[in-house]
Amino acid sequence: MIIDEQAEFRSLLMHHVTTHWPDAIISAYDPTAAGHLPDEFSGAGNDIVLLGSRHGEERDGVDVLRRFVERENFPPLVYFGTEEDQEEAHRLGPDAHFIRDHISHDSLIVGLSDVLVSRSRVASTGSLFLGDMRTGIHPLIKGYRFVRRLGSTEHSGVYLAERESTHLKVVLKVLRQMPGNDDGIGAFDRFLQEYETIADMDHPNIVRIYDLGVADNHAHIAMEYLGGGDLRLKIDKGIQKRAARQYLRQIASALFAVHQKGVLHRDLKPGNIMLRKDGSIALIDFGLAKKTRLESEITDKGEIFGTPYYMSPEQGHGTNVDERSDIYSLGVIFYEMLTGEKPFRADTAMGIIYLHGNAPIPLLPTRFAEYQALLNMMLAKSPDDRLQSAAEIEEWL
């Protein structure tokens, strides 16, 4: 069901939907011509409701959104608002939210599909998503059977899927933005760079890449499914000293291999370090990786990329970084693996960045004193005072 007073906008949404799902049954509702829907409207009979922000002078789109969101058992709800009302709309929590004047076909189709899958509201007949869900195939990626969504970012969605030809479980990372869009060029280039970076490496502690697809203004990477969770979960549960040492050795080995290829990771953190079922470590998510030998314009415009808790002082201040910046980030992770705490905390990102550059290196508890010298060499403020290669971490251990 599509609800909005503007006929052109209703037609636009209908066009997007029927282009991908030709058999979709759509009801379009004009709240000014047909009258505002009553407060008791439940949305029953619809697999999804697409709610526009225009409802005449008497009603505001956000007010209608609020009423629908508050109704129990309301169908999946997608709101198409304005830049002015997006903060309030986001706070109300529809299943998805788009700016009505900035809709791309691929991002809309992926967004609607995500909503329908995550809410598990697919009907047995006449469903908008029925054609794709019977085979379980992601709407933009052919040859893979959709299992579930794992997560999403501003530029990409991440899914667990099964390759139809081999029944191999994989992780699909799908770029949401069109490469031809001026706002999406950087994201698209970084996405392809991530694939090229990882696929060129054969190392037991780096995630394996199976496939890259680029078609119809979208791209995807199919990579190894790592079923042991991420290092962040391990840290939350507590890591024994021996395990922390083993994890450090494996991550350092992977980093050394990455650096030998002339590549920096630049976003090393527990959430980007995964475990296999056998307990081995695998480095993932090279979306911020950079070929150090190339003069790239993708991320060299002064922006700060990465996660402040794990940033080296030089990265946090937007200056040039090299392999030693990744070593600093690994030092932060090692401290966290041992103690369960981050070495530096503050109320703001800039506060954390300041502490990385100015606060003393924290002392480990006495039971971990044997690792203090190594930690000092990894967390030194100046890159010149740090270990100069990830291979040196093994030597210290």
pLDDT tens digits, 79-131: 999 888 888 888 898 988 899 888 888 788 888 887 877 665 333 333 333 33
Q: Give residue 326's pLDDT band: very low, low, confident or very high (50, 70, 90).
A: very high
pLDDT of residue 139: 55
In the chain, the domains with their CATH numbers are 2-128 (3.40.50.2300), 136-224 (3.30.200.20), 231-396 (1.10.510.10)
pLDDT of residue 300: 39
Work out the angle at residue 351's Cα, subtended by the Cα atoms of residues 345 and 357, and round it to the nearest 5 degrees: 90
Query: Can you give the length of the chain in residues?
Result: 397
Nearest-angstrom CA–CA distance, 80 and 98: 5
pLDDT of residue 170: 92
What percentage of residues in the chain have a pLDDT greater than 70? 81
Read off the pLDDT of each residue in 240-256 and give the average, rounded to a whole number: 95
pLDDT of residue 188: 63
Q: Is 70 exceeded by the pLDDT of residue 154? A: no
Read off the pLDDT of each residue in 251-277 and give the average, rounded to a whole number: 90
Q: 305: which residues sit within 8 A by CB, 6+ positions away?
A: 266, 267, 288, 299
Looking at every residue in the chain, the average pLDDT score rounds to: 81
Q: Give residue 273's pLDDT band: very low, low, confident or very high (50, 70, 90).
A: very high
Q: Which of 2-6, 160-164, 237-241 has the lowest mean pLDDT?
A: 160-164
Q: 135: which residues sit within 8 A by CB, 6+ positions away?
A: 145
The phi-psi region of residue 285 (left if phi > 0; otherwise alpha if psi is between -120 and 50; otherwise beta) is left
Work out the angle at residue 304's Cα, subtended by the Cα atoms of residues 300 and 307, and round it to the nearest 5 degrees: 135
Residue numbers annotated as active site: 267
